[in-house]
Amino acid sequence: MICPFCSHEDTKVLESRMSSEKACIRRRRECENCQQRFTTYERVEISPVMVIKKNKLKEEYSREKIIKSISNSCVKYEIEQEIIQEIAARIEFGISLLGKKEITSAYIGEKILEYLKPVNEIAYLRYLSVFKKFETIEDLYKEINLCGKTLTFSN
């Protein structure tokens, strides 16, 4: 980071923190040459990525769609919006690390499941049932068993 006052190349970071909306990192810096202090805001930006859907159509990646998709399976289970935002941000970070121009909607779906499972198993199963299109109730039970749960019935 170049100092905006004297153009010196070395500045030291005094303090870093996530800004309130968690979309960027705020850093307080000090120039090692002139000792002037200034603040930078770093925003992680992901270069345009296309998502290939099941029907082979492509659409531009959007974080909002991930959030909406998770929200749809959570509505009744009250997962905090903040946690949903966090999951979406993590998935997006993972996508940026892949460095690919195209990813599949299945990849995103798997990631949503991966992060949803430890947060809320009911929402996870609900999302899974849509994602894998369970045909029968047995399919659902099988999946619940994979979750390590034993179903018990009482009457």
Q: Residue 10 or residue 102: which is nearer to Zn ion going by CB?
A: 10
Choose which of 24, 25, 28, 33 interacts with Zn ion (CB under 5 A). 33
Query: Is residue 2 a contact point for Zn ion (CB under 5 A)?
Result: no
Which of these segments, 30-38, 50-58, 68-76, 102-110, binds Zn ion (CB under 5 A)? 30-38
Choose which of 14, 18, 34, 106 interacts with Zn ion (CB under 5 A). 34
CB 13 within 8 A of CB 7: no
Query: Is residue 28 a contact point for Zn ion (CB under 5 A)?
Result: no
**C-alpha radius of gyration, the chain, whole number:** 21
Q: Which candidate, 50, 54, 44, 48, places its Cα nearest to that of 21?
A: 44
Q: How many angstroms separate the CA atoms of 114 and 61, rounded?
A: 19
Residues 6+ apart with CB under 8 A from 67: 84, 85, 88
Choose which of 1, 8, 50, 144 interacts with Zn ion (CB under 5 A). 8
Query: Is residue 125 a contact point for Zn ion (CB under 5 A)?
Result: no
- Min dist CB 43 to Zn ion, Å, is 23
Q: Which candidate, 21, 40, 39, 41, places its Cα nearest to that of 89?
A: 21
Q: Residue 9 or residue 102: which is nearer to Zn ion going by CB?
A: 9
Query: Is residue 40 a contact point for Zn ion (CB under 5 A)?
Result: no
Size of the site for Zn ion (CB under 5 A): 7
Tokens at 76, concatenated = 């009744």
Query: Is residue 46 a contact point for Zn ion (CB under 5 A)?
Result: no
Q: Which candidate, 155, 45, 146, places its Cα nearest to that of 95?
A: 45
Task: Catalog residues that contact Zn ion under the rule CB under 5 A.
Answer: 3, 5-6, 8, 31, 33-34
